[in-house]
Amino acid sequence: MSGRVDLNLLLTLETLLNELNVTRAATKLNSSQPAVSAQLVRLRRMFNDPLLIPGARGMTPTPRALELAPRLSELLDGFRAIVQPDTFDPATAQGSILIGTTDATQCRMAKWFGDLAAAAPGIQIGFVSATRLMVPDIEHHMASGHVDIIISRRSAFPDRLHVRPLHDEHFVAVMRWDHPYRKKQLTAKAFAAMQHVIVSPLGGEFDDTTDEILAGMGLSRSTVVSVPSFLVAERILRSTDFVSVFPASLARGMTSSLKSYPLPYAMPKIELAMAWHVRTNLSPLHRWVREQIAQLLSSPWEEAGGSMAQIAW
DNA sequence: CGTTAATGTACGAGAAGCGA
DNA sequence: TCGCTTCTCGTACATTAACG
């Protein structure tokens, strides 16, 4: 590589790595496709690597290109922050943020959107299906812009992502309000004897931590249905004598239809956290949205209405 | 270092051929 | 008639050449 670096070439490389297509990259860069192709030739000379291998439909990044991508984004974001100093104003900001999380967390964020629309009318929030995050390479999905923020258990995040802890999530047993089980405390034996709804955000799982713990106690349970959504589980619970395990913070918002019991076994808490990629780390828009989310979700008991004493147990 | 035009490569859809 | 294979053609996209 020569001593002089053309920053415009790096911008082209960043766009090429995002688009994996010279024609689309050229459109985004307001340039012509042959011009971008020529820039790619110069980039290949600069890095002494093919960077992007042409295929029948678009380009495939080399390992060197994949290694460069996050570092390049961070570097260029730094330059953008210098060129466009801290002028972020939510009232005039434009942009969209894609968030991957469970519907339980989506529900907990629901009350935020009214405030968001008033304070930042140009910002759109989209939720990404959990199935899109199943692929092992979460980092790649974040690098390519398929998702900007993931809210999940902290242990799920690769080391290279930026992570901000939110709160510790506890779990409760939930059943319909007029469920025939009326004792004050739920015993492990009674819990295991009931029919269960499992919420498996990725879908299709019939065993989870609860089954492992019950097995350790010499108990087993009967799971009738596994659904990917807490809202669907709640609808099922309302019309059956089934029981399920919900995040306590979600169950608190469903007290009109469901009653909650402390779990009759020691369920480990989940450390809920928010993760993002270096690509968006320095973006003022993303930083502002992340701060809003952190404020919203940093406490497990932020729902209006008061204290734990009001919970139905 | 940009543009336009020409060229090369690969894929997909549809037609044609062929055997069971 | 059906299913499979092969061929042709259109399309999409990257690269190269020529020129300013």
Q: Does any strand B atom come closer than 7 Å to the Cβ of A21?
A: no
Q: Whose CA is closest to A244, among A253, A235, A43?
A: A235
Q: How many whole angstroms separate alpha carbon A95 and alpha carbon A288?
A: 12
The CATH number assigned to the domain holding A292 equals: 3.40.190.10
Domain match, A281 and A160 both? yes
Model pTM? 0.66
Q: Does any strand C atom come closer than 7 Å to the Cβ of A268?
A: no
Nucleotide nearest the Cα atom of A35 (by C1') = B2
Range of the domain at A45: 7-82
CA A126 to chain centroid, in Å, comes to 11
The pLDDT of residue A193: 96
Q: Strands A52-54, A162-169: parallel, antiparallel or unpaired by DSSP?
A: unpaired
Question: In this structure, are residues A128 and A105 in contact, taking their beta carbons and an 8 Å threshold?
Answer: no
pLDDT tens sequence across A207-235: 889 999 999 999 999 999 999 899 999 99
**Residue A312 banded pLDDT, cuts 50, 70, 90:** very low
Question: In this structure, are residues A246 and A199 in contact, taking their beta carbons and an 8 Å threshold?
Answer: yes
Residue A309 pLDDT > 80 = no
Mean pLDDT of chain A: 81
The pLDDT of residue A192: 96
Owner of token pair 């002028």: A87
- Nucleotides of chain C in contact with protein CB (under 7 A) are 12-17
Question: In this structure, are residues A253 and A303 in contact, taking their beta carbons and an 8 Å threshold?
Answer: yes
Question: In this structure, are residues A169 and A300 in contact, taking their beta carbons and an 8 Å threshold?
Answer: yes
The pLDDT of residue A305: 33
Q: Strands A95-100, A149-153: parallel, antiparallel or unpaired by DSSP?
A: parallel
pLDDT tens sequence across A95-139: 899 999 988 899 889 889 999 999 999 999 999 876 656 546 677
Asked if residue A304 belongs to a domain, the reply is no
pLDDT tens sequence across A179-196: 999 888 899 999 999 999
For the four alpha carbons of A144, A149, A154 and A159, in that order, the dihedral sign comes to: positive
Asked if residue A267 belongs to a domain, the reply is no
Domain match, A249 and A190 both? yes
The pLDDT of residue A177: 92
CA A261 to chain centroid, in Å, comes to 28
Amino acid A8 reads N
